[in-house]
Amino acid sequence: MNILLSNDDGYFAPGLNILAEHIGKFADITVVAPERNRSGASNSLTLDRPLSVKKAANGFFYVNGTPTDCVHIALTGLMETLPDMVISGINDGANMGDDTIYSGTVAAAMEGYLLGIPSIAISMSQHNSTHFETAARIAVELVLHYQKNGFQSPTLLNVNVPDLPYDALQGRVITRLGKRHKAEPVIQLKTPRNETVYWVGPAGQPNDGGEGTDFHAVANNKVSISPIQVDLTNHSQLNDIKDWLKS
């Protein structure tokens, strides 16, 4: 297989390096990742300036842009042939529920999906994780399973792995995305020049995190695998909004 790897933590991130080490044992890999941490970049493309691509000593390519830039450039100009799969990660921190809207990790995988390539975003369940090896083994298992049993339709998977030793995992479960309470308030600070600055507050705690959700799976030491899509249309409201407009 030919597999494109990317992330949003930057080309130097330990999660990406461990993922490349494991996937590279049985597949031809190309790594194209941001030159610095671009967490929270979502699906943004850089359209106001040109982008540069450089090659690190370890063979990874890095781009002075967003995760979406990286995958888009790789698939539309950098790679001679399209890969069989795009994998984004391993992210140092969860991408569950509402997180997926903001996640650069998910966005990188989504760009592959938008260009017709099966894609996987894989994340650890918490920041400052210590068991990236566990997530790398899960990624390998998913890719090898795909090799033997391809997807029936275009597929984008969002995978979250508990930060545990591999043998401590309690299984793998297919989940839907949960939902969080609204984010905590911004943190307001004063600079030495007496200017007011703001840090975005922490994400809210799970609000919809019951059985069947990604939150519930990870809380019970299970790998969460969520098939996600790009269509943001609220189909159930189409007729309601038609009636609203007529009134």
Higher-confidence residue of 119 and 154: namely: 119
Angle of helix 14-23 relative to helix 132-148, nearest 10 degrees, comes to 40
DSSP three-state, residue 120? strand
Region 132-147: mean pLDDT is 97
Percent of the chain with pLDDT strictly greater than 70: 96
pLDDT value of position 90: 97
Tokens of 102: 């903001």
Region 60-86: mean pLDDT is 96
Region 168-173: mean pLDDT is 96
Cβ burial, residue 82 (10 Å; 0-12/13-18/19+): middle
pLDDT value of position 51: 96
- Count the alpha carbons within 13 Å of 25 in the hemisphere toward its beta carbon: 12
**Arithmetic mean of pLDDT over the chain:** 93
Residue 209: pLDDT band (50, 70, 90) is low
Whether the predicted pLDDT of 208 surpasses 90: no
Question: From CA 202, how far away is CA 158, in angstroms rounded?
Answer: 21
pLDDT value of position 179: 81
Whether the predicted pLDDT of 239 surpasses 90: yes
- Each residue's pLDDT tens digit, 33-54: 999 989 889 889 999 999 999 9
Q: What H or E segment, with its residue span, contains residue 168?
A: none
pLDDT value of position 181: 60
Whether the predicted pLDDT of 4 surpasses 80: yes
Residue 184: pLDDT band (50, 70, 90) is confident
- Each residue's pLDDT tens digit, 218-231: 999 999 999 999 98
Question: From CA 138, how far away is CA 140, in angstroms rounded?
Answer: 5
Q: What is the DSSP letter of 161?
A: E
